[in-house]
Amino acid sequence: MRTVITNAKIVNEGRSFRGSVIIDGDRISEVKEGETTEKYNTGSQQPNDKGCQLPECILTGHDGNPVRIIDAQGCHLLPGIIDDHVHFREPGLTHKADIESESRAAAAGGVTSYFDMPNTVPQTTTAEALEEKFELAAKKSHVNYSFFLGAAHDNIELLRKLRTDGTMASTARRIPGIKLFMGSSTGNMLVDDNDALRQIFSNVEKPLMTHCEDTALINSNMRELEEKLGEEPAVGYHPQIRSAEACYRSTALAVALAKEYQTRLHVAHLSTARELALFNPGNKMITAEATVGHLFFCDEDYARLGTRIKVNPAIKSKDDRDALRRALNDRRIAVVGTDHAPHLLKEKQGGCRKAASGMPMVQFSLPAMLELTDKGILTLPRLAELMCHNPALLFGIKGRGFIRKGYKADIVIVKRGCPWTVNTDIIESKCQWSPLEGHTFNWKVEMTLCNGEAVYQNGKTSDKMYGEEIAFI
């Protein structure tokens, strides 16, 4: 069935304009600027107009075929959000999250594509483990998916083959890049040996996404604090242990290696003002991501939220947060992701050593960033660049990330002026909590379309799985 979204304010490619989007099948067939002029036979029109929900009806087109009309009057229409950084925990950690539950949360938050990280059980460091994830997602994902391959001490030959062995080309084309933990991780995925790092940086052709923290300095900081305090440090000490210096040292090393070997580097979750000096606006070879958590919270929030905002790298000072916010506009930050990392609340108990690091954010990332537009921190077109256009461009995604004719119909419709408060009843993530509980947002996701299908509308996620494997250039 043809779908026509009318009367929307379309936010796309640096502009906001009134217009309509026409969808045939899973693709955008036309983008019309200005008021809608096409006429339809009105037959049986049954609009659904409850509160902030979108009125829609099935009418008859001029060719006699049914047309679904969605009236987006008063709403903004953006490309579906592409989250370049999530941990959906499957396989092996499904007591706290899985692909179905977290992709459902993504759909409810306007996220239509995600890249999942490799620190699962087993770790995604082999071609076999990677294939298992694709097979799981094909059955369980509400929205589009792809998976990073993890770098480790024992799979450097595989990384080399992705670049040099023609028989591995199809595998290389299926992934957005390689994830390298130069800071905390589990098992053999922590790589902080200089020789191993050089082998990795010199043998990857795909984008290399790094988690940058200096492990030796972190361990030293932890020992000193425990000796001083005589007990496990409380969570308020987390940014002192996983310090700004620990982040800067590791990020500076990654940038230096990328320059030396001409590696396409993407540094995940910057958390400090100092790190920003290592990045230049417009440099497409060395880019940086900020997460919603580091943009939304600061160290003042530990007193209120405790371990709910314990993440690695740590959320740091207000000055650091504000510098990251400024960098959204001066383009030293290229992408905003979530590092969505669910844990059960019982796993978040303790202090700096015992409490698990990570928080679930994928369902609320877009409303949180839209709140920053209300505060004048960034514009709606810049938000679309950071969360839609740039992830598609920097990782070479085919046919997504823009509102363009011929592109996949991944679309999110949001409305301002519909206050709602985060509570456990609306949380889709399996872990069933959020650091944003009790927070009231003024922007609401009204509808999410993935490949032309409504995966979220009227406050509910579809039971059907419309996600597809993401294709890369």
**pLDDT by residue for the chain (473 residues), tens digit each?**
899 999 999 999 999 999 999 999 999 999 999 976 565 544 444 444 445 678 888 887 777 788 999 999 999 999 999 999 999 999 999 999 999 999 999 999 999 999 999 999 999 999 999 999 999 999 999 999 999 999 999 999 999 999 999 889 999 999 999 999 997 555 678 888 899 999 999 999 999 999 999 999 999 999 999 999 999 999 999 999 999 999 999 999 999 999 999 999 999 999 999 999 999 998 999 999 999 999 999 999 999 999 999 999 999 999 999 999 999 999 999 999 999 999 999 999 999 999 999 999 999 999 999 999 999 999 999 999 999 999 999 999 999 999 999 999 999 999 999 999 999 999 999 999 999 999 999 999 999 999 999 999 999 999 999 999 999 99
Pairing of strands 75-79, 2-12: parallel
pTM metric for this prediction: 0.96
- What angle, 0 to 180 degrees and rounded to 10, lies between the N-to-C axes of helices 215-229 and 244-261? 170
In the residue annotation, 339 being an active-site residue is answered as yes
Helix (H) or strand (E) holding 171: helix 169-174
Nearest to 216 by CA among 234, 198, 189, 243: 243
Q: Is the separation of the CB atoms in 110 and 80 below 8 Å?
A: yes
Q: How far is CA 161 from CA 119, 172, 259, 266, 435, in A?
A: 21, 9, 22, 21, 42
Q: How far apart are CA 55 and CA 72, in angstroms?
A: 8
What is the sign, positive or negative, of the torsion defined by CA atoms of 62, 63, 66, 69? negative
Domains of the chain: 2-77+407-461 (2.30.40.10), 82-395 (3.20.20.140)
Kindly list the strands in the beta sheet with 178-181, ordered across the sheet, starting from the edge strand earlier in the chain. Answer: 149-150, 178-181, 208-211, 265-267, 286-291, 335-337
Q: Is the separation of the CB atoms in 130 and 171 below 8 Å?
A: yes
The catalytic position among 83, 214, 339, 410 is 339
